[in-house]
Structures are given as C-alpha cells and as structure tokens.
Amino acid sequence: MSTEQSTVIPEGFNLQHGVRPVTGQDGVECLEFSSSMHTLYWQTYGEHSVFFQALIDGRLIGAKCPKCGMVLVPPMTWHCPDCNFQQMESVDLPHFGRLAATAPITIFPLASKHGEAPYCRGYVDVVTGASKASFMPARLETTTGLPRPGIFTKGISLRLVFEDEREGRITDVFWIPESEVPEHLRSESLLLASQLQFSDPKPPEIQHTEAMEGVFCEALAALQGMADTATRSLRAQENLRSLGDLEIDVKTSGGNAALRVHDGVLSVYLVGGEGVKDSETLPDFVMQAEDPAVFSNWVNSGSLTDAAVEGRLWLPHRQAFSALPALDRVPRSVRRDTEEEKLSAES
Amino acid sequence: MNRVGIVGAGITECRSRWVEATYWKLFQMATRATLEDAQMSAAELDSVTFGIYNDIFEHMAIPESALTGLIGMGNKPGVRVTNGGATGFYAMRAAWMEVASGASDLVLCVGGEKATDCHDPQSGTATPMVVDTIAKSWDPFFEYPLGATASDSYMQKCMAYDDAFPGDVGNGQLRAQMIEMLCRQGNRNPFGQRRKEEVTAEQVMGSRWIIAPFLRLLEACMYTEGAGALIFAGEQKTLEICQRTGRQPVWVKGVGAANESYSVGRGSSNLMQLHRIESDALAAERAYQMAGVRPSDIQIVEAHDAFVAQLMITMGELGFVQLGRTRALIEEGIMADIRDLGDDGRPDKGQVLLNPSGGLIFGGHFVGGSNMFSTWSAVREMQNRQIPLALVHGTGAINAAYGGAMVLELGEEAVA
C-alpha cells in the first residue's frame, strides 16, 4: 500500500531558478524570485525509537504508568505527566480498537500528499478498558473502495494491519474496519496488508428496479447529448484528451452503461441492450451509483467528484478518483463554449 | 495589577497576496496606522511584542529581528510570540501583562503574516503549499506523515462534537445561512479581504468539498497577507491619550488563556478531549471571572472563526449558547442581523453582534495578527454603537488546542 519513494524531496518537486515580473492588485509591476526553505534531516526518534522498533517487529506498544494506570499509545513520553514524572512501563497492546470519533476524510490535501486524496485519518481508542488512555493517531483504510462517509463512524471496531515491508514509520501500519477482515483471518495475531484484498474491490450490491429505468434513460440521453456536443467543443476535447484512453463501466439501479474516452472523444454506450458497446475489453474501472440521476446531475450542473465525496458514487480506487476533475470539466467546458458561441459547426 | 487600556488600533488592507509588499512593509504599515490612530509617535513607545506565527511563511528565522528598526523600535525591548492560530491573542496577552505589571507604560503589539508567497510546483498554485506549511505544525513522528492538516484536525473536533451532540452543527444548510450573515458583515469592513463578494447560502452548498462530509470551501477562513497593531497603555497614559484623540478609553477588563494537550484521549487533563473545545471554555471562564462579567452582559463578540462549524461550537464554549444547541444562534436569532443594526444600532437584549468584521472567513486571517484585527473591529464597534462590553477570542494549534479570551470595556471617563 505504501508508495515507493527513494528521496525525501520527491523528484520533480522543485522550481526553476529565476526572477520574474509579477503584478498584483495595485497594478504596479514588482519582481518575485524563486527560492526554497528546505532543511534535510536524519532526525532521531529518540525515546520514540522503541515504538518504531516494535512496529518493525509487528508489535504495538504503549507506555503504562504503574501508579495511575494511564496508557499512552504511541508512548509520547515514558514519564507520567500526571504522577510527578513516574517512570512508565512498556506494555504490548492488542491489534484491536474502537474509533474514538467519526473521522474526517481529506479531499483537498497538502502538497506532500499530492494525488493521495481522498484519505481518512482518525484516532483509535486501543486501551478501551483503561480509564486514562490516549488515542492513537491512525491511518484508516477500507477494502471496499474509496474512503467515504458512513464507514469510519464513532465506535466501530477496527483492526490494526501491518505493511509487509516495514521501515519504522507510522505509515507502516493502518487500521481497517474489523467487519472487513475475512473470517479466516480474524484470529491471526499479526495481520499483513498482503493478506487483504485492496486492489480489486467489489462494488456494493445494488438491486435493479424498474422505477429507476426512466431516470436511467434520462441520464443516458443527457450523457449522449453531452458527448455529442463535446465533439464540437475545443475546451471539452482538451479536457478529455488529458485523460488519455479510458474505459469506464457505469452501473446504476436503472441500467448500465459504458463511457469510453479515446483521442479527446467521449463515447457513451448502453450495456445490456441494443447498441451494446463494441469492445469486449475489461474496463479501466467501474463506477456505480444507486441513483442514475448522479450522471444527469453531472451533465447539468453537479459534479462526479462531489457525488464520490458524498458517497453517492462508488469508486474502486484513487486512480479512478483522480480522473474525476477532468471529467467534471467536460460539461462545464461544453456549457462555456455553448454560451460563448464557440462550438464548431455540426459535422 | 495596573489597569490597562487600548489606545490605538490599526490594520492594513487584507489581501490574498500583497505582491507590492514584503512582511517588513506590512508591519510598518500597521504600526503607522496605529500610531496615527493614537496620535502618537514611535518615540513614545516603551517596547514591542510581535505576533508572527510561522518562520516558513516569512522565509526567515527570527523574522521579527528585521522589523525592529523599520518600525522605529531601535534600542528598545521586543519579544516575538508564536502560538499557532492564537499567536495574535498571545502577543496581546504578553503586551497587556507587560503594562499590567508596570514594567512598561506604552507597548506596541503588532502581528501579521505573509502566507501566499509559497508555491506548489505540482499544481502550479500556492494553496497546497500553504496547507503543507501549516501542516508542519504537526509532529514529524506520528501526525504529519498521516496527512494531518488544519482543516482535517478542526473538522475532527467538529465531527466528534457532532457524535456527542448529533445534528447541532451537522446541518450544512444552517451553516450556509450563517456564512451569508457573516458575508454581509464582511461587506462593511473597509479593510476586509472579501468585502466585494456576495456569497449566498446556495453558493456555499455548491462549493467544493475540502473535508468530507463536514467542510466546503466557502465555510473556511482564508489565507491572508496583512498586519494589524494595537497600543496597550497604563491607566494614566490611556486617559492622557484619550484626551488627545477625543475618544472614550477602552479598558482590558479580563484576560484568560488555556492550552490543551497535544495528545488526544480520555481521563486526564494532560490528554485532550475530542468532542469539546475545552480551551475556549476555560479561557473564557478565566476572562469573565477577572472582568466580573457573564456572557449575557456582552453584546459584541469577535471570535476566531477558522471554520463556521467551529465558530458555532466556540460560541457554545464561550457561553453564549448551550453546547448541543448552538444552532440557536441562527434558529433563535441570537446572532444579530446586521441589516437590522446598520452602522450604529445595538443588538436587542439576548442578542449578540458576532464577528462584525466579517471574521476570519470574510475579513481576513493573517495568522500572527488576526486577533489584533478582531480587536481593532471590536474597539471600533464598541465606540460606534456605544456598547459597553466586547469579547475577543483566539484559537489555534492542532485540534484547536490553544484558546484565549479578552474582555474589553468601553470607559465612561469623560473626554474633552
């Protein structure tokens, strides 16, 4: 699950050396110079070293005060701040916990997490039996697709998972809902990321309902209308071209479709009816919405990104999510070129 | 302890970027504006406290050292304060303490930030780098590597509050209504960053997600470049300067502060509770006690609104509404509507004028001086509306750990 990185400043994360003109609100030309304030570190973990050494060994440890019983995980200190700095003892902790509070999902990340959103971070109550205990800052992952609202809610049971290759960082471990741990792995004392299936999550089951067929037909017509107009919009073609070749299966409770992007052109196919899509290749990914209106909303004024963020649109992984901003720009470009009368003549 | 007054207040225009000025110039601009406001010269000042949050933004370690001579404080004592989002408040507290102790009689308190010179080469914009620079406020061992940001940590608090008090701050529509009200107030602020913007509830609900499912773009404070300054003075000096300016004095009546633990957990005061902003409650209680007032006596609040959901909880913690019932601010009209008050009207009994500056969401948030900006507004509103008491609030650091509160009183002393 971890991304390979050989240097601490990622390759390409840099600026050209230079000075250039810049004009601000006052309309006066000024100059700006490129620069950096990087410091490189071989930073000691110091008193935290034992915690990270334990992670490498596949163990989670905390610091326990023999006097008041407070348990700190991670052990932020080995001297109890409540008991006149009494020496604390190392304790092995279970690989289970409860989410202390419903966890936020970051959609707009910091520069160092570029391309990693959406991600979820929360606090895990590990030592649930102790009256005094810290909560562990936690990376929260799911095997059921993108993190989305409704999964990481207060009180859910969580299981600690270790990366197969660990180097001594907090990202060596993460937590998943206990309910996602397959039955046969529940008694494992050390659960490894490779024992879980992250790469090909199954979309949640949806029931086909006749009532939704009408909504689906409207969505399909809206998609096809947009795809047609996009062939006459330079901006939309540019948006689509940035996606390269892409094949997406679309599943809804009213029917299924397929979207294909090739050479700046979007094609929309009905699946399971007449005019079935022409290729039998596997899609790059599936997106699924119980309500087909998610797609007509996309065409009209909404966005697929919002639908995914809010949990109305299911996506398997972050690569799929990263395609959404360009897709979201397509209907906007079509509208803009239409308003500005910049559509090319119909072919 | 000596009685302390605020005799001058001035701010720069709040901008998303000041291409025309470095922080050196911004601090000098704010100092000049404040000295003009107090009709004083820098030579009369005894010392200075600086509020600068983050060396990386200023791109200089010991950033205040460059300012000493530029603001006319050569060969005088100066101390820099840095306390996360609450930097401004804590710099004000330091200036107040210096006068209250008798060590100085006239102290300049100036704070500001240069935030958006940062640049992220991956997006070609500033914002992800600004977010990253603020995220450096989290430790490098446990929290930063997980992608902690100011937004996600404040939303963690708001979502934990929502677990404890379901539905109170979780209604996006209600929060959007509050944004509309704050926007109208921000439109009145001649220095406000978004004074020309008209943001509707519908636009708020349509703005993109920052943190799901609790924070949209238009519910968050801005990144601002600017500076603000205040002058704290002993009792005699205060009265003397008020004779010069012909304005009623504004007294610092109560000051309170509290910092919660960095570590989150339960059962100890050395562990932070997630579902409360306890630092706000403790700071306010301490300030009220010193001032001998209750929240119901106060009708102007300039609160540090990093995010609108946090502002609602903060108003609960400060005692203006009940925790769990903070939506009463909107639903029961406790937050006065500026359209009813105009420029000199007073809120009805039981109402409060909340963030008349537009707050940090619409006015601006130059971190090291934002609370000076809030104080500048509170002083102005007290004088214009003849409202006797105001509260200024600051919050900051991971999970809103730092809290500060200052009660101000409009003096009844006669002026020439």
A110·B149 Cβ contact <8 A = yes
Of B18, B132, B264, the CB nearest to A24: B18
Does residue A38 surpass a pLDDT of 90? no
Query: Strand, coil or helix: what is A97?
Result: strand
Q: What angle do CA B284, B99, B381 make, to 5 degrees?
A: 55
pLDDT at A2 (0 to 100): 46
Structure confidence by residue, pLDDT tens digits, B36-51? 999 999 999 999 999 9
> Is B149's Cβ below 8 Å from some Cβ in A?
yes
Are B266 and A154 a contacting pair at CB < 8 A? Answer: no
Handedness of CA B90, B105, B378, B299 (dihedral sign): positive
Across chain A, what does the average pLDDT equal? 94
Q: What pLDDT does B388 receive? A: 98
pLDDT at A274: 52
**pLDDT at A3 exceeding the cut of 80:** no
Verify whether the Cβ–Cβ distance B120 to A111 is below 8 Å.
yes
State the ipTM, two decimals. 0.95
The token duo for A258 is 């397929």
Question: B120–A309: do the CB atoms touch at under 8 Å?
Answer: no
Q: What DSSP state is assigned to residue A300?
A: H
Mean pLDDT of all residues belonging to chain B? 97
CB-based contact A133 B267, cutoff 8 Å:
yes
Shortest distance, CA A96 to any CA of chain B (angstroms): 16
Banded pLDDT at A1 (limits 50, 70, 90): very low
| Pairing between β-strand B47-51 and β-strand B78-81 as defined by DSSP bridges | parallel
What pLDDT, on the 0 to 100 scale, is given for residue A262?
Answer: 95
Q: Which residues of B touch A125 (CB under 8 A)?
A: 266
Identify the pLDDT of residue A279: 57
Question: H helices within chain A, ranges in order?
Answer: 49-56, 213-230, 234-241, 293-300, 304-310, 318-339
Contacts 24+ apart (CB under 8 A), A26-35: A26/B19, A26/B20, A28/B19, A28/B20, A30/B19, A30/B20, A32/B19, A32/B117, A34/B119, A35/B59
Is B271 an 8 Å CB contact of chain A? yes
Q: How far is B21 from chain A (nearest CA, A)?
A: 9
CB contact under 8 A, A105 and B15: no
User: What confidence tens digit (pLDDT) does each residue in A41-71 have?
Assistant: 999 999 999 999 999 999 999 999 999 999 9
Q: Taking a C-beta distance cutoff of 8 angstroms, is the pair A69, A37 a contact? A: no
Q: Would the pLDDT of A85 be above 50?
A: yes
8 Å CB contact of B156 and A70: no
Q: How high is the pLDDT of residue A302?
A: 87
Residue of B nearest to A22 (CA): B19
Closest CA to B356 of B340, B219, B49: B340
Report the chain B residue with the minimal C-alpha distance to residue A114: B122
Q: Do A134 and B146 touch (CB under 8 A)?
A: no
**Contact state of A24 with B142 under an 8 Å Cβ cutoff:** no
How far is it, in rounded angstroms, from Cα A213 to Cα A232? 29
Contact between chains at B263 and A121 (C-beta distance less than 8 A)? no
pLDDT digits (tens, 9 = 90+) for B107-139: 999 999 999 999 999 999 999 999 999 999 999
Chain A segment 301-320 residues within 8 A of B by beta carbon are 303, 305-306, 309-311
Interface test with B, best of A23, A108, A151 (most B CBs within 10 A): A108
Q: Answer yes or no: do A121 and B211 touch at CB < 8 A.
A: no
What percent of chain A has a predicted confidence (pLDDT) above 90?
Answer: 88
Give the pLDDT confidence score for residue A346 in this predicted structure.
Answer: 73
Strands of A71-72's sheet, edge to edge? Answer: A89-93, A60-64, A71-72, A133-134, B265-266
Side-chain-facing half-sphere of B169: CA atoms under 13 Å: 33
pTM of the model: 0.95
Q: Do A121 and B56 touch (CB under 8 A)?
A: no
Minimal Cα–Cα distance from A61 to chain B, Å? 14
Among candidates A30, A109, A149 on the partner chain, residue whose Cβ is nearest the Cβ of B19:
A30
DSSP B72-136: T-TTS-EEEE-BTBTHHHHHHHHHHHHHHTTS-SEEEEEEEE--TT--BTTTTBSHHHHHHHHHT
Question: Contact A45/B59, CB-based, under 8 Å?
Answer: no
Which pLDDT score, from 0 to 100, does residue A4 have? Answer: 58
How many Å apart are CA A343 and CA A347, to the nearest integer? 11
Q: Which residues numbered 295-354 in B keep a CB inside 8 Å of some CB on A? A: none
Q: Residue B56: what are its φ and ψ, rounded to 5°?
A: -70, -40
Say yes or no to pLDDT of B29 above 90.
yes
pLDDT of B416 > 70? The answer is: no
CB contact under 8 A, B152 and A26: no
Q: Is the minimum CB–CB distance between B61 and chain A shorter than 8 Å?
A: no
Interface check for A137 against chain B (CB to CB < 8 A): the answer is yes
Segment 165-184 of chain A within 8 Å of chain B by CB: 169-171
Lowest mean pLDDT segment, chosen from A6-15, B26-35, B169-178: A6-15
What's the fold here for domain A210-339?
Nonspecific Lipid-transfer Protein; Chain A (3.30.1050)
CB contact under 8 A, B208 and A111: no
What are residue A141's phi and psi, to 5 degrees?
Answer: -125, 160
B169 closest CA partner among B183, B180, B155:
B155
Which residues on chain B are in Cβ contact (under 8 Å) with A113? 147
Domain residues of chain A, as ranges? 46-195, 210-339
Q: Which of residues 198-227 of A touch B (CB under 8 A)?
A: none
Query: What pLDDT score was predicted for residue A213?
Result: 95
